[in-house]
Every structure is written in C-alpha cells, then in structure tokens.
Amino acid sequence: MDGNEQETGAKARILLVEDNHMNSRLTEFVLERDGYAVEIVTTGEDALVAARENKPDLILMDIQLPGMDGLEATRILKQDPQTASVPIVAITAHAMRGDEERIIAAGCEGYIPKPINTWKLGETLSRYLQD
Ligand code: MN
C-alpha cells in the first residue's frame, strides 16, 4: 500500500475544479499517475454539486473561474456541514501579496502556485489527506 491509499485500499478521490482544459488534462494525468482517482468539473457551481453528491477526499480548486470564483465556492463549501470537512487546496496563477491571506480566509487548507510542480503535487496533497 502506498501513501496515497486509504485503509480500505481505495484510491483517494480528488475533485479537480479547473476551467482550463490543458491544465486539467495535465493535472489529471499527474494525479492518476500518483494513484489518485480524479473527477473534473469546470465551474464553481458544478463543484458545489459534485462535492455534495460525491463526497471527495480532497478538492483541488482553481481560483480564477468563470462565474463563481474558487474563493466563493470554497466559502460556500466550508459553510455547508455536508462538505465543510473536505480539505480544499487552492491552485492560483497569481500568487500576489495578500492572496495567501484571502485564500486561507475563504477556508482553504492551503494553496499551490501554477504552474503545478508535477513531481511534488501528489506528495503535497497526501499531507492534506492525512489530517
Ligand atoms: Mn482558471
């Protein structure tokens, strides 16, 4: 059993919220290579539905999304008792001063910068899954 598997032997399930197709293809490839099961949605609105229905083990949330952005989706998920305990890791292209504070204030457990480090992503997420 490797570090990404749970006690049941099931793969940890990641809900990936990403509107850019090339980014989501690459991230899905990396996560599946590292032993995760991946569901992809492209909007914050769809993320709310998928999180409630499918109860992922972790949500990887792009911040810049059309319509509802990733921070707003995070606030709603963290206020909903059905989804509040699911760790949310933000992915952001513009890690500017003040962004980390806004991301943590919205309820994310952490964030990773774009472009993602394809060699460290799985290991980074495994730390949030252990909590
Ligand atoms: Mn985006």
Reported as a single tens digit per residue, the pLDDT across 93-112 is 876 778 888 999 999 999 99
* Residue 93 CA to ligand 1 centre (angstroms): 8
pLDDT in tens, 63-87: 999 999 999 999 999 999 999 999 9
| Model confidence at 5: pLDDT above 60 | no
**Owner of token pair 């999304």:** 65
Measuring CA to CA, which residue among 80, 78, 76, 108 is closest to residue 92? 108
- Whether domain 13-130 has CATH 3.40.50.2300: yes
Residues measured by CB to lie within 5 Å of ligand 1, the ion: 19, 62, 64
* Residue 111 CA to ligand 1 centre (angstroms): 14
- Give the C-alpha separation, 3 to 78, whole Å: 26
- Give the C-alpha separation, 131 to 118, whole Å: 22
Count of CB atoms within 10 A of residue 91's CB? Answer: 23
pLDDT of residue 7: 53
pLDDT in tens, 25-50: 999 999 999 999 999 999 999 999 99
Measuring CA to CA, which residue among 46, 33, 50 is closest to residue 116? 33
* Residue 80 CA to ligand 1 centre (angstroms): 24
* Residue 63 CA to ligand 1 centre (angstroms): 6
| pTM for this prediction | 0.90
pLDDT of residue 1: 47
* Residue 1 CA to ligand 1 centre (angstroms): 34
The full set of domain ranges for the chain reads: 13-130
